Amino acid sequence: MRFRLSTLLLLCVTFFSSEINAQDTTIEYKTDYYWQQQTDYIMDIDMDVKTYQFTGKQTIKYTNNSPDDLSRVFYHLYFNAFQPDSEMDARLQSITDPDGRMTDNVGTKENPIFESRISKLKDDEIGFIKVSSLNLNGKALSYEIEGTIMIVDLETPIKAGETVDFNMVFNGQVPVQIRRSGRNNKEGVALSMAQWYPKLAEYDTEGWHADPYIAREFYGVWGNFDVKITIDKDYIIGGTGNLQNADEIGYGYTPNDVKHKGKKLTWHFIAPNVHDFTWAADKDYIHDTMQVLNGPMLHFFYKNDLPKDNLESWKKMQPKTVELMQYFSEHIGKYPFDQYSVIQGGDGGMEYAMSTLITGNRSYGSLVGVTAHEMAHTWFQFLLATNEAKHEWMDEGFTSYISTLAMNEIMDEKKENPLSRSYLGYAFLANSGVEQPLTTHADRYNINQAYGISAYSKGAVFISQLGYIIGDDNLKTTIKKYYTDFAFKHPKPLDIVRTAERVSGLELDWYLIDFAQTTNTIDYAVTNVEDKKVTLERIGLMPMPLDLTITYTDGSTEDFYIPLRMMRGAKKTSATVKDDWAWAYPTYTLETSKTVKSVQLDPKGLMADIKQDNNVYPVATE
């Protein structure tokens, strides 16, 4: 792939962000506190498709761009999770509502007894990565393996600014497909190779992030990948990177037919500036391509034995995938790579660098929907790449938000509030008694349902409701500027909020604190109406500015906006703006020019008020 100037700049140690100057989003300022480690991988892999075992040689050129000398490093060995008595296995057996893809119910629907599928794996079905040797700049290193983490203590620290070479020889076994990666998934895809190689853990301003692989997703170091995969010649590969030897491979990567000699082929991929490398392989893949105008080449890999209707759905969804790529590039920022692949594999839908694995036995609408969500992850997980172990809602939630809007437009769904289901999901959680704050580590949620609603629904509501607070136009600008300023920088929650402050000129720290760092809830009520006076009450602890519509006895209506004092300003609105409301006062009286007949708080449903029945006057009766 030919590097673009913007990509090269992002590889540098010094990064630039936006001027802390309200309303002016064009001025840039230098941010010395952003630095990123660099890991450049060279890997040679030889896969045995009969035993599902592979051997590998790996060189990592590691650049320590941090200000710290590093006396140890950590590797992730993700495949080790798929062994009986692993931490992933233990969690499946202890959590109340384990993932159904990873368990079997040996009880009844009414009285379920969940049994971990990992606990039943035999020796030739487990996953593993075994390290044969590891050296640093030619000198052998000792290491200790604890589950999915390998700890490497260094006799000579890697100094700040230094570049070193780690060389490793390893072998692995692909587990029976249980979660995300594995062999022979339920649709018969031979190899879904995600999180399959020894991967250096991320070190950032908060230190090392060597989280064990228990359930959730990933955090990685950006780098350039040069990967050669040798495999039986009948297998077709799709995944991360750009194929370098298409003329030797064929299989749809070139229009020419290629005659393959010998028993195996070596596929050579290069992927610049990514933090992961994923691939899938099967003998029965159909490989289609479609070019995005002024954008990447799209690749589609799906099995030729799908039911006829689903095969037709795969064809039909391809132009919609082009539209999705264009939508996200327009509304977030331009996709910076030359290819993107949609691949049948895995256990549902999961995003990876330049690609996604999705189950393929789906209807047309389901195929487009899952592709929309997983492709949107490319921006929030693989280009912005927030630490999902700590801030999973910034990835899942923001992805859910933008992919829902994309589906509403591209599939012509015509929903007045496309995010309504996210609001309903959040309200259910907030009223359930089991909500935990969004600061909870992704593995520490008491129940999976609470994690799912928090990450997907509450995360989506966070960004949608931000638009309610600062105005839709400001939100659109905020999202684009957030991407421009923080792509390839692992942004944190404060970064999206500060970006919104710079764009809108409003104070928003209270929003991050209440909605993301506590379980405080929003509950406003219309408590009294007398002639031309409306009394409102704040019942929940969380403050908000208010939109409301009043209908008068003469049949006319008027929209009102009540700013929140601690915002130190107001969004642009065509409504009648009243005096601001300070949080400490539990009630507020609004005076009108005519006699009031009815009141509706938040008429567009964009405020996450957890009790809707007190938002109207008169109260609806059955």
Structure token digits, residue 229 = 């995969």
The per-residue pLDDT for 395 is 98
The per-residue pLDDT for 621 is 63
* This prediction's pTM: 0.94
Q: Are 281 and 236 in contact (CB under 8 A)?
A: yes
Structure token digits, residue 203 = 């070190």
The per-residue pLDDT for 34 is 80
pLDDT tier at 23, thresholds 50, 70, 90:
very low
Looking at the DSSP assignment, which residues form a beta bridge with residue 146?
149
The per-residue pLDDT for 622 is 57
In the predicted structure, residue 5 carries a pLDDT above the cut 50: no
Which one, of 238, 245, 271, 272, lies nearest residue 260 by Cα? 245
Length of the chain: 622
Residues 118-176: tens digit of each pLDDT: 999 999 999 999 999 999 999 999 999 999 999 999 999 999 999 999 999 999 999 99
Structure token digits, residue 236 = 């077709």
How far CA 243 is from CA of 166, 201, 228, 271, 543, in Å, comes to 25, 26, 10, 9, 53
Structure token digits, residue 222 = 């950006």
β-pairing, 236-239 vs 149-158, is unpaired
Residues 254-293: tens digit of each pLDDT: 999 899 999 999 999 999 999 999 999 999 999 999 999 9
Using CA atoms in the order 334, 336, 338, 341, what is the torsion angle rounded to 10 degrees? Answer: -80
The per-residue pLDDT for 71 is 98
Rg (CA), the chain: 26
Q: Stretch 234-242: mean pLDDT, rounded?
A: 98
How far apart, in whole angstroms, are the C-alpha atoms of residue 126 and residue 82? 6
Residue 453: Cβ-neighbour burial (10 angstroms; 0-12, 13-18, 19+): buried
Looking at the DSSP assignment, which residues form a beta bridge with residue 59?
42, 167
How far apart, in whole angstroms, are the C-alpha atoms of residue 73 and residue 154? 8
Percentage of the chain beyond pLDDT 90 is 93
Q: Cβ atoms within 10 A of the Cβ of 517, count?
A: 12
Q: Residues 6 or more apart from 566 whose CB is under 8 A from it?
A: 507, 510, 543, 582, 583
Q: Which of helix, strand or coil describes residue 432?
A: coil
In the predicted structure, residue 343 carries a pLDDT above the cut 50: yes
